[in-house]
Chains A and B, each alone.
Chain A
Amino acid sequence: MTEQTTASAEDLAAAGADQLPPPRTFAGRFLASMWTANTVTVTVLAVLLALVIGGILIAISDEAVRATFSYFFSRPSDFFTLSWDKVSDAYAQLFKGSIVDPATVQAAVNGTGPWERVFFPISETLTYAAPLALTGLAFAVAFRGGLFNIGVQGQAIMGAVGAAIAGFLLPLPVGIHLVVALVFGAAFGGMYGFVPGFLKARTGAHEVITTIMLNYVALFFLGWLIVQKGIQDPERSDAISKPVDDSAQLTHLLGFLGPSLRVNLGIVVAILVVAAIAWLLRRSTFGFELRAVGLNPEASRTAGIGVGSTYVMVMTVAGALAGLGGATIVLGTAVSLTGAVIGGVGFDGLLVGLLGRAKPWGVFFAALLFGALSAGGNRMQSFSGISLELVGVIQALIVIFVAAPALVKTVFRLRPAKVSGLGTGMSKGW
């Protein structure tokens, strides 16, 4: 990310030479580069713009604020004060719920409150972020390989199924059990990604169609599976599976501070996998093939690269990543399979992958942002009475603005950066 910033600073100095004198100091060049339409700037401004529009929605969805409309022209100040109170409170809660609440820090320092409360928001953020980083990568890796993987949700479901089955059916010792369960999750997801990859390589079936359909297959397979004998929890009458054995659960990292801190080894797994994928894309033979095929399948084929087998491998790896994402949920937080065990983490993975511009560490930071919005959204709902759906709206707006960089550039009148590749990246899959 820093590389891109400096690169565009140099470009600006070169490109803007005939219009403006290039800023001399490093800080000047840095600020100038921030105001060109590079990736980081556009992303940050997209988030900002989404929060502004979210704020407007918060204001007009509030009844008290709407009541001021009737006398807006006689006393407009009421509208503005009320709106400001409402929106600033909402975003304050969003921050307190996702990063840290200063009041709890003070209490902990004074010894009047537990440290558990201090770490709760960040623990929630990381808990949400871990599976999102993995499903985001599942989309990103396929995207870099020239494939549009809409099937992340289905692959994540299959991963959760695989991990849960290994988690409660295999009697294995502590340590090994967890590793085996994770491997099962990746393997189930990988097999489920292999299918559309194989169909594409062999028959040319478009992966968008096949993966969307396979999402349904996975969803209803899960619904069927959790009421089967041997899977369903014998002590429950509703559709829920047996819980995963303790030995297969992801260790809670901050469990010693209090039971509410759910952050677990999943985030460690996610970071390791992000680093591994970054290495894979850059330094491995498979990564070279994946990038070549993703950018130009015809030239790759002409140079002797097996395009079909690369597609199969790409989808298998993507499916394994999604499966791992599903596994971290069932082994980390959910513990039992239910019909909605992974929620929308697969579909959110598409957004995270796009927001992270299909780059491993970009995906990781996008996952942190989405995790923070989810964690903070919970608090915003309970403290400010704003529905959780609004967080979904803000997430969607961020992705829309990132996908339409021209919009952000126009709104903020950014100077064009030479290293852009912004608009093209998003539409390449089609």
Chain B
Amino acid sequence: MANDDISLTVEPGEIHALLGENGAGKSTLMNVLYGLLQPDEGEILVDDKPVQIRGPRDAIAAGIGMVHQHFMLVPVFTVAENVMLGAEQTTGGPIGFLDRRRARKLVREVSDRYRLAVDPDRTVEDLPVGVQQRVEIVKALTREVDLLILDEPTAVLTPQETEDLLEIMRTLKAAGKSIVFITHKLKEVKAIADRITVIRRGRTVGTAPPDTSEEELASLMVGRSVLLRVDKGASEAGAAVLDVAGFAVNDDRGHRAVDGVDLTVRAGEVLGIAGVQGNGQTELIEAIMGLRPVVAGTATLDGRPMHGLSTREILRAGVGYVPEDRSVDGLVKDFTVAENLVLDIYNTEPYGTRWVVRPEAIAESARARIEQFDVRTDASGQATVGTLSGGNQQKVIVAREFSRPLKLFIAAQPTRGVDVGSIEFIHRQIVHERGEGTAVLLVSSELDEVLALADRVAVMYRGRVIAVVSPDTPREEIGLLMAGVTTDDPATARTGSEDD
């Protein structure tokens, strides 16, 4: 049960924040409102009248619109075509020519009225993410909705784009629209919300005014007080472990994704890579791990070149790796927890040899590691990994990688979609590993996570490291760097390499 006895009231012209950890049931609740899921009990009232919402069509008819976390846009269509999709207007009677002109006019009108700055003739795939999101908003507004649900709208935005979005939300509010703003980011909630409803484990745990402190909101969210900052001592950085020079890597479509990156990660330090998703971080890391061909440049591990090494050789040389997408790259979901815990060492003693694997030895070590890493599953490790929650799946990966002696630990989005309790645990593990003298390379699109863990922060923008700064640098400045705006102050910023 994802939702259990939840009540929520949204007033006209109100921005109502729905706050909760991942998996608390926020999205489930909103999917019920939008008709994607049916409630087992309870009712929905619009303007004090009960309504039945059996699907998105009913929801739109009742004046409820939704902008999903993952955009529902056809990339090769223009903005106008996307907006008219599902509500096509035709001319020419029974023959039915699409009335593109009317759709364009409608987009322009809505865009002007709410200052959204969306051009109806641009192809969606050419637009930046922030603009694509505005297309989704336009889509909802052209359906004449009064209540707009925004599901984690800022997850994919730069700090500047987030600012723009908050401004748009204020404009919409001024025009009398109500907004439900789903998020787990406390700062944004405090910046914009009129009222805050906190959800935990499928129940409403309280409604708070926006002047509630962040600490209070966080403890409401988690149900206990949480360390928002990670306790860590000063780093005792040693010799360079990973040295990347002049790296160039292509993405899946053959476009240059990493374009001349130089990086050094030293023993006992955490180098955090900040940046909006899709600026080459994924490709950079995959190339280091030998999962993607390197077009130009070199990487050395402890001074030995990594060029030509297979992924297995790199892992066996003492590199731990938490991939960005755990369900695709991290785990074999239909394997048991025990099997996943040895996915990279199943053919080494004591788990197996070149020829045979030893299920008993694998199960035995699984028991120990499930306990050590507090994985919430059947203690024998014989449950299928796919049945675990996101946080526990991630702990399985972390447990696997930390159970070998490491020189270098690479973590991409290690806490994405993970509950707060597991985030704390994973962060402590990373800090502990740093204390053991491991070099840590951390990639995260959550700036807070980078700032909390990193000893140095490299900002990536369009395939380059445009600056390496201290984590004490003001957020606004890092935010500007993430948007590609470099300062000329040599003390805090250093431009990336230019050899392409």
Contacts and interface: CB of A to CB of B under 8 A. Distances in A.
Contacts of A288: 339, 346-347, 352, 357
Contacts of A286: 355
A300 interface: yes
Contact of A304 (B323, B344, B353, B356): B344
B356 A283 contact: yes
B489 interface: no
Given A284-B355, A296-B328, A304 B315 contact: yes
Interface string B326-343: 001111111100010001
Interface string A294-307: 01101111111110
A9 B334 CA distance: 21
B353 to A, nearest CB: 7
Nearest to B290: A304
Interface string A56-85: 000000000000000000000000000000
A380 interface: no
Most A-side CB within 10 Å, residue of B321, B330, B332, B354: B332
A310 to B, nearest CB: 12
A293 B168 CA distance: 47
Interface string B347-363: 10000111111010000
Contacts of B359: 282-283
B312 interface: yes
B291 interface: yes
A304 B312 contact: yes
A295 B335 contact: yes
B431 to A, nearest CB: 24
Interface in B270-327: 289, 291, 310-316, 321, 323
B331 A296 contact: yes
A292 B310 contact: no
Interface in A265-305: 282-288, 291-292, 295-296, 298-305
B352 A285 contact: yes
Contacts, number: 72
A354 B64 CA distance: 47
A288 B335 CA distance: 10
Contacts of B314: 304
Contacts of B355: 284-286
A166 to B, nearest CB: 28
A227 to B, nearest CB: 44
A306 to B, nearest CB: 7
A6 to B, nearest CB: 15
Contacts of A304: 310-316, 344
A23 B6 CA distance: 35
A259 B276 CA distance: 78
B291 A301 contact: yes
A282 B336 CA distance: 13
A301 B333 contact: no
Q: How large is the interface on A (under 10, 10 to 19, 20 to 34, 35 or more residues)?
A: 20 to 34
Given A301-B291, A302-B291, A285 B347 contact: yes
Q: How large is the interface on B (under 10, 10 to 19, 20 to 34, 35 or more residues)?
A: 20 to 34
Given A288-B352, A304-B316, A295 B346 contact: no
A73 to B, nearest CB: 46
Given A285-B347, A302-B311, A306-B310, A296 B332 contact: yes
Contacts of B316: 304
B357 A301 contact: no
B343 A292 contact: yes
Contact of A302 (B289, B335, B339): B289
A284 B311 CA distance: 22
B312 to A, nearest CB: 3
Contacts of A291: 335
Given A285-B357, A288-B357, A299 B343 contact: yes
A287 to B, nearest CB: 8
Interface in A300-345: 300-306
Nearest to A286: B355
B191 to A, nearest CB: 38
Contacts of A287: 357
B451 to A, nearest CB: 27
Contacts of A295: 332-335
Given A302-B311, A303-B343, A306-B312, A285 B353 contact: yes
Contact of B330 (A285, A299, A305): A299
A65 B441 CA distance: 79
Contact of B332 (A282, A285, A300, A306): A300
Most A-side CB within 10 Å, residue of B310, B323, B353, B356: B356
A283 B343 contact: no
Contacts of A285: 346-347, 352-357
Nearest to B362: A288
Contacts of A296: 328, 331-334
A380 to B, nearest CB: 41
16 contacts: A285-B357, A286-B355, A288-B357, A292-B332, A295-B332, A295-B333, A295-B334, A295-B335, A296-B332, A296-B333, A298-B329, A300-B332, A301-B291, A302-B291, A303-B315, A306-B312
Given A296-B328, A303-B311, 18 more contacts: A284-B355, A284-B357, A285-B346, A285-B352, A285-B357, A286-B355, A288-B346, A295-B334, A296-B333, A296-B334, A298-B329, A299-B343, A302-B289, A302-B329, A302-B330, A303-B343, A304-B310, A305-B343
Interface of B: 289, 291, 310-316, 321, 323, 328-335, 339, 343-344, 346-347, 352-357, 359
Interface of A: 282-288, 291-292, 295-296, 298-306
Task: Give me the 5 closest cross-chain CB pairs, A-B, nearest first.
Answer: A304-B312, A303-B343, A303-B344, A296-B332, A302-B329
